[in-house]
Amino acid sequence: MNKKLGYGILILLLIAFAIYSYTYQEHRDISNEEATFAITIPALEKEFTANDSLAFAKYQDQTIELDAKITTIDFENKAIILDHKVFATFNDSLPKNLISGKKIKIKGRFLGYDELLEEFKMDQSSIIR
């Protein structure tokens, strides 16, 4: 009887550990990952226009690299808008030397397309140059 109880407790502990390990996985560090895709905003728009579900499946949660012009900067919320089409948020504060109209290359995690605002969303972005 004691052996069965001991084995039962051991199995429950192993299951609890497996659930904990699965739930609390280490977060990805996008800034140190290689970009899966280096793409332009017009090419991204073209893919979403052609087949949005296929494009979403291709890019969702992938690290992408974009080279575009800054149209809006929000230092307070650590966010920028590129070419009026991509809303990117940053983990770290933005450099003070950023100015609207300047070309910039960023890398971040692609979240999706907001049809209401007609813009692409990225987070965990970092400036490459």
- Going from N- to C-terminal start, the domains of the chain cover 33-127
In the chain, which residues have pLDDT < 50? none
Residue-level pLDDT at 114: 87
Residue-level pLDDT at 70: 95
- DSSP-derived letter for residue 102 is -
Give the Å distances, CA to CA, from 23 to 20, 27, 51, 100, 123.
5, 11, 33, 40, 21
Task: Read off the tokens for 12.
Answer: 């429950």
- What does CATH list as the number for 33-127? 2.40.50.140
